Amino acid sequence: MPLPEFDFIRPKSVEELTSILAKHGGEAKLMAGGTDLLVLMRDRLVRPKYVVDIKGIEELRGLSWDEGRGLTIGAAVTMNEIIASDVVRERFGALWSAASDLADPTVRSRATLVGNICNASPAADTAPALLVHNAEVEAAGAKGSKKIPIEDFFKGVKRTALGPDEFVKAVHLPNPPDGAKSWYLKWKRTWGEDLALVGVAALVANSKKWIVRVAFSSVAPTPVLVPDVQKAFEGVGTLEEKIEKAATFIPGGICPITDVRCQAEYRTYIASVLVKRVLRKLLGLR
């Protein structure tokens, strides 16, 4: 089936992009990799009058790390570029493993981190990793730039905090706490490419005190952080006892649905299982 008719625009600068959205924001869709947008257009779920390709904007193609500022990932950076980064693999393991588990190598050569979060699917693989790493989204528009904490970015299924004339320039991840480790696990129906039935990211650090963050995809209308897990590590007990206690906080922090892929009850069960698995991995218990 051919795509609906549209005008294709390829700006060369952030200023040009800002001007285009100020004029056509309500009728335009941005395309970084196009791996989500083109499918939605093919299925007639969206019919933009303008498709604005941002890949040619050099300012949006940067991936950099700084000892003070942390990690910055531009809107046009692909998943394969993230996976190829030694800094991401060594310091931001949850993001590296989430990007590695997204789709397949061909799709990852086009798909972008910013596109993944702007699509705002509850099943977005990279979103839990950004949540546990306290990421910020740098948005821009005709009125200027602003920083949006990642937990405030998702507003519902396929909805974000962006206005019609705004776009994401970059995602910023602060350097994790000393000694922190993080990882992402994904439960799916097949060993191959598939959407997450449940995805979980966790970050653990214990220099002066325990820092434990756990976040999920596919268990709520938006990717969700479950802060109560931290409480499991504040009392006494062995690591195994703390992990078991952490899992008890999960059902109260999520609200999964039943859909064509699985039952809500199964998602709740798997979410608790995955939390224990990812925490054991990070704490060296398996």
For the chain, residues classed under CATH 3.30.465.10 are 58-173
Tell me, what's the pLDDT at 70?
98
* Average pLDDT of the residues in 45-50: 96
For the chain, residues classed under CATH 3.30.43.10 are 7-53
- Backbone dihedral angles phi then psi of residue 282, each to the nearest 5 degrees: -70, -30
Query: How far, rounded to the nearest angstrom, does the alpha carbon of residue 94 sit from its chain's CA centroid?
Result: 10
Residue 5 is given by DSSP the state: P
- Is the pLDDT confidence value at 109 over 90? yes
Nearest to 120 by CA among 215, 27, 37: 37
CATH placement of domain 7-53? 3.30.43.10
Task: In the chain, count H helices and then E strands.
Answer: 11, 14
Please compute, for residue 128, the number of CA atoms within 13 A of its CA located in the half-sphere on the CB side. Answer: 37
- Is the pLDDT confidence value at 2 over 90? no
Q: Is 184 helix (H, G, I), strand (E, B) or coil?
A: strand
pLDDT digits (tens, 9 = 90+) for 159-200: 999 999 999 999 999 999 999 999 999 999 887 778 999 999
Q: Is 101 helix (H, G, I), strand (E, B) or coil?
A: coil
Dig out the tokens for 62 from the structure: 């940067």
Tell me, what's the pLDDT at 286?
72
pLDDT averaged over the chain? 96
Query: At the fourth CATH level, which superfamily is domain 181-282?
Result: CO dehydrogenase flavoprotein, C-terminal domain (3.30.390.50)
CATH placement of domain 58-173? 3.30.465.10
